[in-house]
Amino acid sequence: MDRHIHEECGVFGIYSPRTDDLASLVYYGLHALQHRGQESAGIVLNDDGVFRACRDVGLVSEVFTRDKLHALGRGNIAVGHVRYATTGADNLRNIQPLLINHHKGSMALAHNGNLTNAYELRSTLEQQGSIFHTTTDSEVIAYELVRERLRCGSIEEAVAAVMDVLHGAYSLVISSPAKLIAARDPFGFRPLCLGRRADGAVVAASESCALDAIGAEFWRDVEPGEVVTVDEQGVHSDRRHCGAVPRHMCVFEYIYFARPDSVLDGASVCLARQRAGEFLAREYPVEADAVVGVPDSGLDAAVGYARASGIPYAIGFTKSKYIGRTFIAPTQSEREEGVSLKLNPIRSVVSGKRIVLIDDSIVRGTTCRRTVDQLRRAGAREIHMRVSAPPFVAPCYYGTDIDSADSLIANRHSVDEIAQIIGVDSLGYLKLEHARLLTGEDRGFCTACFGGGYPTETPPSGNKSRFERRIHETG
């Protein structure tokens, strides 16, 4: 684990009132969501109940060639997914959308989040004869849905029924033969929104930036606990689970995960990050010559810090456009080398200057130290680091890859010790009470990874490879 937290996934779905080239629209939507998952991508296209899939490891632009998109053909419903593995290793069998066949038709499912009771549900299903083909918690959702679908009669009723047994985080986009379903867990851990195109198509996506990418107008967010069904009769909403529990959107969506041009639950991500910078400027003032943000999610917070402090904002790094996020590299040494390739300080900006360095988080500290070393070599005289998140002190069980507290630097060292380890002159973290106010008011965020307490019961193991281990152990 390095400076940044691994992300969860991005989901996308579209329903068109007529048969159309939906694969291209999903491609552009997934491209806009690429920041949410860079390990694999997939599209399932539904042409009047006939499902065709294209899924592979790699970036969206690598998986979907022109010929592969053309081979998907035309249809009136399509579902897409970009993935970072939070439960289940990264391999071909775990790539989404999952495509399930049962005697009432096919179903494609894309899932963002992480179940806290997946192990228990899977064990029960296996004892009842279910055979699992993946090691993801998403397949648990699919099997529960099929079981309820056979009992309830409709896919939307099945989704509503399954909400009573699924615990944890899930934003879902599902295609049945004739319907598109968008659903969000009652806590609203992960975002999900709806949009409309001028041609009558209805779109569901993890973030509003994906709507912009295909010319769709933002309509509204899917409410926590809501099930939205789109079919030839129009759009229908089932809110029976809404308001059952308090909202707990993951606050790190605003700090790091989401794109700055997105609006989540009515709040601008860009403005939330700027507000974090303003809090930091008031909490930890310092005399300096320039405020520099670490691209990309540190930039808006740096703007907020500069505005509140009166210290000039400066672009202190140049960023390569051809290297993905460094946490995707499989080893720590490769991630560290990736920092040097991805980011390079602009010597004329930082040389001889007292720099306020803004970043979104410190996880283990190793990669952060490398970034600081780069600034020192470029001639920075002083480096005062400000972090637009509180210290990570606890595992996350809701779709973020912090499955153990053991490697978190804030659990082993004080703030002063961390400052010495990473080589900065001073260090300040965003206060937990201010993290809850990033959107202007306390909306009931989940801050569990910052020590804010878990809103649900936690599983005995949050390790993302727990199902692989179980298969190995049982032979």
Judge whether 250 counts as a catalytic residue: no
Instruction: Please report the DSSP string for 260-304 in residue order.
Output: TT-EETTEEHHHHHHHHHHHHHHHS----SEEEEPTTTTHHHHHH
CB atoms within 10 A of CB 91: 14
Instruction: Please report the DSSP string for 112-141 in residue order.
Output: ES-BSSHHHHHHHHHHTT---SSSSHHHHH
Question: Residue 413 to residues 408, 420, 432: CA-CA distances in angstroms?
Answer: 9, 10, 18
Q: CA–CA separation, 280 vs 264, rounded Å?
A: 22
Angle between helices 118-127 and 466-474 (to 10 degrees): 40
Token reading at 146 = 């099929």
- Residue 438 backbone dihedrals phi, psi, to 5 degrees: -65, -25
Q: Which of 9, 209, 368, 446 is catalytic?
A: 9
Q: CA–CA separation, 244 vs 224, rounded Å?
A: 9
Question: Residue 195 to residues 55, 108, 169, 279: CA-CA distances in angstroms?
Answer: 25, 20, 22, 33
Q: Which of 282, 167, 185 is nearest to 225 (CA)?
A: 185
Sign of CA dihedral 283, 253, 270, 363: positive
Residues serving a catalytic function are 9
